[in-house]
Structure 1
């Protein structure tokens, strides 16, 4: 019995490692999964690797193709048009529930994080801005204290890492994004659940609008070539 538990923990750890590799781009969207190379890199046998791959296939991060093997999935704009409205609805609900439950000590903990966000936005430090942005989104999700809601958000957020285009490359977006976060934080301070929900939903929907603008610009540049 104990051996089976250890084996289960191992393949779950491998699945977590693979998710991280996808998020960081080490396993790029559309790429073929070299099982032999991964077993050597991770120091494991093929059994836990294949069990982990099945988990990621079930999550939509990978796909199995007959006689070809396993591939990292890809997202296009059509996929994002369907995902972002769902994310907006779910994260909006997180903000709504967080506003109802948030305590003074939570606000004190989040204050310096938002100050850091402002500093990174003003400096144009997109890499640190992204990391701090993720911390804030996750903090609000945790404050909602709703495991059912959190599970749905995590599932969609994991899939969004398959799309590598970054919205902050669009002129003025980092400043706009920061202003939106500060407005959400202000609504949380006021314990205004409806306002926090509304601003959060708009914040998520603006991201897909910017992605379309970036795609349009890229298409125009391609046509010029």
Structure 2
């Protein structure tokens, strides 16, 4: 309806329900996010905007919009007049992030324990067996990957999508420091023992014990990273 009260005819193929293509800056943000998590763009490194625009064949506008998105996610830091660099987490950042993550994932474990069924037990047992095998083989990279699957499985079993979203948003920041807590001598075994406590609580099931075991696991991981930094 136009201002004269007459119906307007939309051009053929032009509809209010039409789905548009994703904005270019979203694709650029995803590419940069992938490179950051792969440490192709390591923490603390400055992002060369000129090189990236040339590599991707784009102008500065979509790149800068993409960097704003990544800055809102905490993955990069924008400095007026200087440019943009990949976020380098500090000791204080870790001290603030891990207790929050422990609370969130502890609640996931609590809710998962209340929903454990035969299929859930089989899934958790299979992942834990894989962790045991990778520990024996001292395969840190494989252990880390299965560890991620283990935590995600507990979130999915819990079935609380709001809680899962909060966990994933928080965990995304920690991808900037991948592997660090497992590289310290003895940490791999500690982590495995903490997983055993979580699995034992889920098997009972004991929701309160599962929550405590998961919180302890995350907080011990933070302490391990702190000792590594001091070393």
What's the TM-score, normalizing by structure 2? 0.85
* Alignment partner, residue 9 of structure 2: none
**Alpha-carbon distance change, 32 to 180 in structure 1, aligned in 2, over 3 angstroms:** same
Cα contact 2:144–2:179 (8 A) shared by 1: no
Aligned to 1:7: 22
- After superposition, give the CA deviation of every residue in 1:52-76 in whole Å (9 maximum; x if it has no partner): 2111111111121112222111111
The residue number in structure 1 matching 2:90 is 76
User: Residues 190 and 53 from structure 1, CA distance in 2 versus in 1: closer, same or farther, beyond 3 angstroms?
Assistant: same
Residues 104-123 of structure 1: CA distance to partner in whole angstroms, max 9, x if unpaired? 11221232221111011111
Q: CA deviation at 1:164?
A: 5.0
**Equivalent position of 2:67 in the other structure:** 53
Q: 2:194 aligned with 1:167, yes or no?
A: no
Structure 1 residues 44 and 135: alpha-carbon distance in aligned structure 2, compared to 1, 3 A threshold? farther
> Given the superposition, is the C-alpha separation of residues 187 and 13 from structure 1 closer, same or farther in structure 2, using an over 3 Å criterion?
farther
Q: 1:176 aligns with which of 177, 190, 198?
A: 190
Partner of residue 186, structure 1: 200
Find the partner of 1:155 among 133, 154, 169: 169
Give the match's secondary structure for 2:85. Answer: strand
Cα distance in structure 2, aligned partners of 1:16 and 1:43: 16
Considering only CA atoms, is the larger Rg found in Structure 1 or Structure 2? 2
1:135 and 2:136 matched? no
Q: Is the 8 A contact 1:7 1:48 kept in 2?
A: no
Aligned length: 216
Shift of 1:81: 0.9
Gaps of 5+ in 2: 1-15
Q: Is the 8 A contact 1:122 1:175 kept in 2?
A: no
Residues 164-190 of structure 1: CA deviation (Å, up to 9, x unaligned): 561112221111111211221221122
Secondary structure at the aligned position of 2:185 is classed as: coil
User: Partner residue of 2:223?
Assistant: 209
Q: Does 1:97 align with 2:111?
A: yes
User: Contact (CA 8 Å) 1:29, 1:73: kept in 2 or not?
Assistant: yes
RMSD: 2.1
* Contact preservation (8 Å) 1:95, 1:140: yes
Measure, in 2, the Cα distance between the counterparts of 1:61 and 1:34: 16
CA distance in 1, matches of 2:163, 2:228: 30
* One of 112, 121, 125 as aligned partner of 2:135: 121
